[in-house]
Amino acid sequence: DAKTTQPTSMDCAEGRAANLPCNHSTISGNEYVYWYRQIHSQGPQYIIHGLKNNETNEMASLIITEDRKSSTLILPHATLRDTAVYYCIVRVSNDYKLSFGAGTTVTVRA
Amino acid sequence: DAGVTQSPTHLIKTRGQQVTLRCSPISGHKSVSWYQQVLGQGPQFIFQYYEKEERGRGNFPDRFSARQFPNYSSELNVNALLLGDSALYLCASSAPLRASNYEQYFGPGTRLTVT
Protein backbone atom coordinates (compact mmCIF):
# COMPACT_ATOMS: atom_id res chain seq x y z
CA ASP A 1 0.00 0.00 0.00
CA ALA A 2 1.12 3.54 -0.71
CA LYS A 3 1.81 5.61 2.35
CA THR A 4 0.45 9.03 3.10
CA THR A 5 1.92 12.03 4.86
CA GLN A 6 -0.26 14.51 6.72
CA PRO A 7 0.51 17.40 9.06
CA THR A 8 0.21 16.43 12.70
CA SER A 9 -2.22 19.18 13.58
CA MET A 10 -3.88 22.35 12.35
CA ASP A 11 -6.25 24.98 13.63
CA CYS A 12 -9.15 26.51 11.78
CA ALA A 13 -11.52 29.37 12.53
CA GLU A 14 -15.20 28.58 12.75
CA GLY A 15 -17.04 29.51 9.57
CA ARG A 16 -13.91 29.51 7.46
CA ALA A 17 -12.83 26.87 4.99
CA ALA A 18 -10.45 24.22 6.30
CA ASN A 19 -7.94 22.86 3.79
CA LEU A 20 -6.32 19.59 4.83
CA PRO A 21 -3.33 18.48 2.76
CA CYS A 22 -2.19 14.92 2.14
CA ASN A 23 0.88 13.71 0.31
CA HIS A 24 0.79 10.31 -1.41
CA SER A 25 3.70 10.51 -3.81
CA THR A 26 3.97 6.72 -4.30
CA ILE A 27 0.30 6.15 -5.15
CA SER A 28 -0.38 3.55 -7.82
CA GLY A 29 -2.70 4.00 -10.77
CA ASN A 30 -5.40 1.76 -9.30
CA GLU A 31 -5.37 3.27 -5.82
CA TYR A 32 -8.08 5.59 -4.61
CA VAL A 33 -7.72 8.39 -2.07
CA TYR A 34 -10.08 8.04 0.90
CA TRP A 35 -10.74 10.43 3.76
CA TYR A 36 -12.17 9.45 7.11
CA ARG A 37 -12.49 11.42 10.32
CA GLN A 38 -12.74 10.39 13.93
CA ILE A 39 -14.43 12.58 16.46
CA HIS A 40 -13.26 12.01 20.01
CA SER A 41 -14.45 8.70 21.49
CA GLN A 42 -16.33 7.70 18.33
CA GLY A 43 -15.59 5.32 15.46
CA PRO A 44 -14.13 6.70 12.22
CA GLN A 45 -16.60 8.23 9.77
CA TYR A 46 -16.30 8.05 5.99
CA ILE A 47 -16.09 11.47 4.35
CA ILE A 48 -15.25 11.13 0.67
CA HIS A 49 -13.07 9.29 -1.83
CA GLY A 50 -11.77 9.80 -5.36
CA LEU A 51 -9.49 8.39 -8.03
CA LYS A 52 -8.31 11.32 -10.14
CA ASN A 53 -11.21 13.70 -10.57
CA ASN A 54 -12.24 16.22 -7.98
CA GLU A 55 -15.17 15.07 -5.89
CA THR A 56 -17.76 16.89 -3.80
CA ASN A 57 -20.47 15.70 -1.46
CA GLU A 58 -22.52 17.20 1.34
CA MET A 59 -19.63 16.99 3.77
CA ALA A 60 -16.56 18.07 1.84
CA SER A 61 -14.68 18.48 -1.41
CA LEU A 62 -11.66 16.47 -2.49
CA ILE A 63 -9.11 18.02 -4.81
CA ILE A 64 -6.55 15.63 -6.32
CA THR A 65 -3.58 17.01 -8.22
CA GLU A 66 -3.13 16.03 -11.83
CA ASP A 67 -0.14 13.84 -11.05
CA ARG A 68 -2.15 12.30 -8.15
CA LYS A 69 0.78 12.69 -5.78
CA SER A 70 -1.15 14.87 -3.37
CA SER A 71 -4.67 15.86 -2.46
CA THR A 72 -6.57 18.36 -0.33
CA LEU A 73 -9.72 17.82 1.65
CA ILE A 74 -11.78 20.98 1.92
CA LEU A 75 -14.37 21.54 4.63
CA PRO A 76 -16.13 24.60 3.17
CA HIS A 77 -17.51 26.14 6.35
CA ALA A 78 -15.91 24.57 9.40
CA THR A 79 -17.97 24.27 12.56
CA LEU A 80 -16.96 23.32 16.08
CA ARG A 81 -18.38 19.85 15.40
CA ASP A 82 -15.74 19.35 12.72
CA THR A 83 -13.05 19.15 15.40
CA ALA A 84 -11.63 15.65 14.87
CA VAL A 85 -8.70 13.59 13.63
CA TYR A 86 -8.77 13.39 9.83
CA TYR A 87 -7.21 10.41 8.09
CA CYS A 88 -6.07 10.30 4.46
CA ILE A 89 -5.82 6.73 3.16
CA VAL A 90 -4.93 5.27 -0.21
CA ARG A 91 -6.19 1.83 -1.20
CA VAL A 92 -7.14 -0.23 -4.21
CA SER A 93 -10.85 -0.47 -4.80
CA ASN A 94 -11.32 -4.06 -3.63
CA ASP A 95 -8.83 -4.02 -0.76
CA TYR A 96 -10.43 -5.43 2.33
CA LYS A 97 -8.65 -3.23 4.82
CA LEU A 98 -8.08 0.42 5.63
CA SER A 99 -4.52 1.34 6.60
CA PHE A 100 -4.75 4.30 8.95
CA GLY A 101 -1.80 6.54 9.72
CA ALA A 102 -1.65 9.05 12.54
CA GLY A 103 -3.89 11.55 10.76
CA THR A 104 -4.24 15.31 11.23
CA THR A 105 -5.80 16.63 14.42
CA VAL A 106 -8.01 19.52 13.34
CA THR A 107 -9.21 21.95 15.97
CA VAL A 108 -11.93 24.40 14.96
CA ARG A 109 -11.91 27.49 17.18
CA ALA A 110 -14.77 29.91 17.73
CA ASP B 1 -31.74 2.01 10.04
CA ALA B 2 -29.52 1.31 13.01
CA GLY B 3 -25.81 1.71 12.51
CA VAL B 4 -23.12 -0.73 13.53
CA THR B 5 -23.57 -1.74 17.15
CA GLN B 6 -20.94 -3.11 19.49
CA SER B 7 -21.07 -4.57 22.97
CA PRO B 8 -20.03 -4.08 25.61
CA THR B 9 -19.15 -0.39 25.59
CA HIS B 10 -16.44 -0.72 28.20
CA LEU B 11 -14.69 -3.73 29.70
CA ILE B 12 -12.03 -4.24 32.35
CA LYS B 13 -10.10 -7.49 32.41
CA THR B 14 -7.06 -8.85 34.19
CA ARG B 15 -3.88 -10.04 32.51
CA GLY B 16 -4.17 -13.64 31.35
CA GLN B 17 -7.94 -13.58 31.04
CA GLN B 18 -9.95 -14.04 27.86
CA VAL B 19 -12.41 -11.56 26.36
CA THR B 20 -15.16 -11.70 23.73
CA LEU B 21 -16.35 -8.58 21.93
CA ARG B 22 -19.48 -8.50 19.81
CA CYS B 23 -20.54 -6.60 16.71
CA SER B 24 -23.78 -6.34 14.73
CA PRO B 25 -23.39 -4.90 11.23
CA ILE B 26 -25.75 -2.60 9.41
CA SER B 27 -28.72 -4.53 8.03
CA GLY B 28 -27.85 -5.90 4.60
CA HIS B 29 -24.09 -5.68 5.12
CA LYS B 30 -22.35 -9.02 4.81
CA SER B 31 -18.79 -7.95 5.57
CA VAL B 32 -17.40 -7.17 9.03
CA SER B 33 -13.93 -5.91 9.87
CA TRP B 34 -12.20 -5.52 13.22
CA TYR B 35 -9.64 -2.86 14.13
CA GLN B 36 -7.58 -2.13 17.23
CA GLN B 37 -6.87 1.47 18.18
CA VAL B 38 -4.29 2.10 20.84
CA LEU B 39 -4.43 5.51 22.48
CA GLY B 40 -2.85 8.19 20.30
CA GLN B 41 -2.62 6.04 17.18
CA GLY B 42 -4.79 5.31 14.17
CA PRO B 43 -6.83 2.09 14.00
CA GLN B 44 -4.93 -1.05 12.98
CA PHE B 45 -6.62 -3.77 10.93
CA ILE B 46 -7.11 -7.13 12.66
CA PHE B 47 -9.57 -9.21 10.60
CA GLN B 48 -12.16 -9.05 7.88
CA TYR B 49 -14.95 -11.58 7.45
CA TYR B 50 -17.29 -11.90 4.50
CA GLU B 51 -20.06 -14.46 4.30
CA LYS B 52 -18.60 -16.17 7.39
CA GLU B 53 -15.21 -16.66 5.77
CA GLU B 54 -12.02 -14.88 6.82
CA ARG B 55 -10.85 -12.70 3.94
CA GLY B 56 -7.93 -11.02 5.54
CA ARG B 57 -5.86 -10.85 8.69
CA GLY B 58 -3.56 -8.16 9.97
CA ASN B 59 -0.30 -8.57 11.84
CA PHE B 60 -1.73 -9.79 15.12
CA PRO B 61 -0.80 -12.89 17.16
CA ASP B 62 -2.85 -16.06 17.23
CA ARG B 63 -4.28 -14.97 20.57
CA PHE B 64 -6.69 -12.94 18.45
CA SER B 65 -9.46 -14.83 16.69
CA ALA B 66 -12.85 -14.01 15.25
CA ARG B 67 -15.86 -15.54 13.65
CA GLN B 68 -18.95 -14.44 11.78
CA PHE B 69 -22.38 -15.92 12.26
CA PRO B 70 -25.14 -16.69 9.71
CA ASN B 71 -26.83 -13.38 10.58
CA TYR B 72 -23.50 -11.64 9.76
CA SER B 73 -22.85 -10.55 13.32
CA SER B 74 -19.34 -11.18 14.54
CA GLU B 75 -17.30 -11.89 17.65
CA LEU B 76 -13.69 -11.02 18.33
CA ASN B 77 -11.92 -13.16 20.92
CA VAL B 78 -8.65 -12.34 22.60
CA ASN B 79 -6.96 -14.95 24.79
CA ALA B 80 -4.22 -14.57 27.40
CA LEU B 81 -4.70 -10.82 27.66
CA LEU B 82 -1.64 -8.59 27.95
CA LEU B 83 -1.45 -5.04 29.22
CA GLY B 84 -0.70 -3.97 25.64
CA ASP B 85 -4.09 -5.25 24.51
CA SER B 86 -5.70 -2.27 26.21
CA ALA B 87 -7.29 -0.36 23.36
CA LEU B 88 -10.46 0.70 21.61
CA TYR B 89 -11.70 -2.19 19.47
CA LEU B 90 -13.65 -1.05 16.45
CA CYS B 91 -15.97 -3.01 14.23
CA ALA B 92 -16.84 -1.87 10.72
CA SER B 93 -19.36 -3.23 8.25
CA SER B 94 -19.60 -2.76 4.52
CA ALA B 95 -22.07 -3.47 1.76
CA PRO B 96 -21.91 -6.62 -0.34
CA LEU B 97 -18.67 -6.69 -2.26
CA ARG B 98 -18.79 -5.30 -5.76
CA ALA B 99 -16.25 -4.25 -8.29
CA SER B 100 -16.45 -0.58 -7.41
CA ASN B 101 -15.51 1.04 -4.16
CA TYR B 102 -17.38 0.69 -0.95
CA GLU B 103 -16.96 2.52 2.30
CA GLN B 104 -16.76 0.96 5.72
CA TYR B 105 -19.13 2.08 8.46
CA PHE B 106 -17.69 1.96 11.94
CA GLY B 107 -19.34 1.28 15.26
CA PRO B 108 -18.62 3.25 18.43
CA GLY B 109 -16.11 0.69 19.65
CA THR B 110 -15.48 -1.29 22.82
CA ARG B 111 -12.97 0.20 25.24
CA LEU B 112 -10.94 -2.67 26.73
CA THR B 113 -8.72 -2.02 29.74
CA VAL B 114 -6.36 -4.77 30.88
CA THR B 115 -5.00 -4.43 34.41
Contacts B58 to A, Cβ<8 Å: 97
Among the partner-chain residues A43, A85, A96, the one whose CB lies closest to the CB of B55 is: A96
What are the counts of helices (DSSP H) followed by strands (DSSP E) for chain A? 0, 9
Decide which of B64 and B30 is more confident.
B64
Closest residue of chain A to B45, computed from CA coordinates: A97
Nearest to B45 by CA among A84, A101, A30, A36: A101
Contacts B108 to A, Cβ<8 Å: 41-43
Among the partner-chain residues B48, B99, B107, the one whose CB lies closest to the CB of A43 is: B107
Question: Which residues contact residue B59 at a Cβ distance below 8 angstroms, ignoring those fewer than 6 apart?
Answer: none
pLDDT digits (tens, 9 = 90+) for B101-110: 567 899 999 9
Q: Each residue's pLDDT tens digit in chain A (110 positions)?
A: 558 999 999 999 999 999 999 999 999 988 999 999 999 889 999 999 999 989 999 999 999 999 999 999 999 999 999 999 999 999 887 777 889 999 999 999 99
Among the partner-chain residues A41, A43, A96, the one whose CB lies closest to the CB of B48 is: A96
Tell me the C-alpha to C-alpha distance, in Å, between residue B55 and each of A105, B6, B30: 32, 21, 12
Do the chains contact at B4 and A43, CB–CB below 8 Å?
yes
Closest residue of chain B to A85, computed from CA coordinates: B42
Q: Could you tell me how many CB contacts below 8 A there are between chain A and chain B? A: 55
Contacts B107 to A, Cβ<8 Å: 43
pLDDT digits (tens, 9 = 90+) for A7-38: 999 999 999 999 999 999 999 988 999 999 99
Mean pLDDT to the nearest integer, B86-108: 81
Q: Mean pLDDT in chain B?
A: 92
- Of all residues in chain B, the percent with pLDDT exceeding 70 is 93
Q: Which of the four pLDDT bands, split at 50, 70 and 90, describes residue B99? A: very low
Stretch (H or E) spanning B34: strand B31-37
Closest residue of chain A to B57, computed from CA coordinates: A97
What are the E-state strand segments in A5-101? 9-13, 18-23, 31-38, 45-50, 55-56, 61-64, 70-75, 84-92
- Of all residues in chain A, the percent with pLDDT exceeding 90 is 83
